[in-house]
Chains A and B, each alone.
Chain A
Amino acid sequence: MVERDRIAALGAVLFAAGGPVACERLAALLEIVPEELEPLLGELERRARTIGLILLRHGDQVQLATLPEVGPLITRFLGNESSRLSAAALETLAIIAYLQPVTRAEIEAIRGVDCSTALQTLLAHGLAEPIGRRSGPGQPVEYGTTTLFLERFGLASLTALPPLPAELRELLLARRSTH
């Protein structure tokens, strides 16, 4: 299969799948090694934009979605207004997005307040999900964001979030290494 066809095949598979697909699975399907997939996805991303689509990247998952800039138009077209999240839920979501995998206790340490209600809201909306358990006392559940989170806020990947101030990033990295 020539490269041009591979890119077309990749786009077709992602369109047919609808939801997120693991890169590993895509590579196996195209009978290529995972390293070969990345440049193909890059080219697909460029072409997708010409028809109002982007590639959402979440961990090793890829998903086709519409351009965030077209969001208002599509909302008008579909005619459904999504519910607004509370300030508490948005703050909790922001913390999860940057610090994932993160435990409830860590979120609460940053917000200084009980976060169980906000967390439940995010889980119910499918914006966050349990992604594992921290090794150590109590084995608390670790939370992370979902592809729906990226979709809902028009982010191509987590790297599209605004960068953290350098000193805070260092502080968080230091905290991470002590775990």
Chain B
Amino acid sequence: MRATVLSTRLRNVPITVGEFSGPLDLLLQLVEARQLPITTVSLRAVTEQFLAALEPLEEAQPELLADFLVVASRLAALKARALLPRPDSPEDLEDPLVRDLQRYQVFREVANWLRARDEAGLRSWSRPPQPRAQAAVPEGRPEQLLQALQRWARRQRPVATVRWRPVVSLTAMIERLRTRLMGRCAFRTLLGERPTRSEVVVGVLALLTLVRRRLVELEQREPFGEIWVWPKEREPNGRA
């Protein structure tokens, strides 16, 4: 659709896509290059050139392509209408694309006007703004700073102390019981002095594990009574 319909004359028109700042910019430059008024007719005339410009764009800037394709499809529709043999109705002469292009042309001229001012160095300079309100520096002595700090410290609530009590693992507790167990002794003495709640819980679990593995034997004469523990004798005939 693109290159095949191009005449050799149009082919020779150099188009560099990178310089255009949008599809309307490209379109306007194509129209202006032919020194034609922006009318539906002149837009039809540059359709092929515009479509040809899409080809390098496809590879160069795919993200721009969609914007160019929108304009390209409108141009193609214009061209198709022109090719169909039917009398021109008045609305055909006023395409929305013509209006859009005229509107764009105005702002592009303003942009050029701004650029010309910029290049001519026509600009103002102002002083950097002053800070709105400079903080007044009150007079004072260094001791006042210290006092202020102390007042602040008094207002602070004491930081709640966090006690760090690591929980003994079952494996570690089993190891501990086995090294401490010498002959028959009370379970409570194996736990050491003032064991934590978690130490007692893990200790009982460890004790039960040791019993299950048939490494120790235990005895408790009455509920909540003293638990007596001793290493199980490994007898060849195996009582257990």
Contact = CB atoms under 8 A, between A and B. Distances in A.
Interface of A: 15-20, 54, 56, 63-69, 71-72, 74-75, 78, 82, 84-88, 90-91, 93-95, 97-98, 110-114, 118, 150-154, 161-162, 164-165, 168, 171
Contact of B100 (A63, A112, A165): A112
B161 interface: no
Contacts of A154: 117, 122-124
29 contacts: A17-B130, A18-B127, A19-B127, A19-B129, A19-B130, A56-B126, A64-B127, A65-B125, A66-B125, A68-B117, A71-B124, A72-B121, A74-B125, A75-B123, A84-B119, A88-B22, A90-B111, A93-B111, A94-B110, A111-B104, A112-B67, A112-B70, A112-B104, A113-B22, A113-B23, A114-B67, A154-B123, A162-B113, A171-B103
A66 B122 CA distance: 10
B95 interface: no
Interface residues of B, number: 39
Taking each of B25, B70, B107, B124, which has the highest tally of chain A beta carbons within 10 Å of its own beta carbon? B124
A103 to B, nearest CB: 15
A3 B103 CA distance: 47
B111 A113 contact: no
B43 to A, nearest CB: 13
B91 interface: no
B104 A153 contact: no
Contacts of A94: 107-108, 110-111, 114
B90 interface: no
B106 interface: yes
Contacts of B106: 164-165, 168
Nearest to A16: B130
A90 to B, nearest CB: 4
Taking each of A69, A113, A152, A168, which has the highest tally of chain B beta carbons within 10 Å of its own beta carbon? A113
Taking each of B22, B70, B125, which has the highest tally of chain A beta carbons within 10 Å of its own beta carbon? B125
Given A68-B124, A153-B117, A162-B109, 9 more contacts: A64-B126, A87-B115, A97-B110, A110-B100, A110-B103, A114-B64, A154-B117, A171-B99, A171-B103
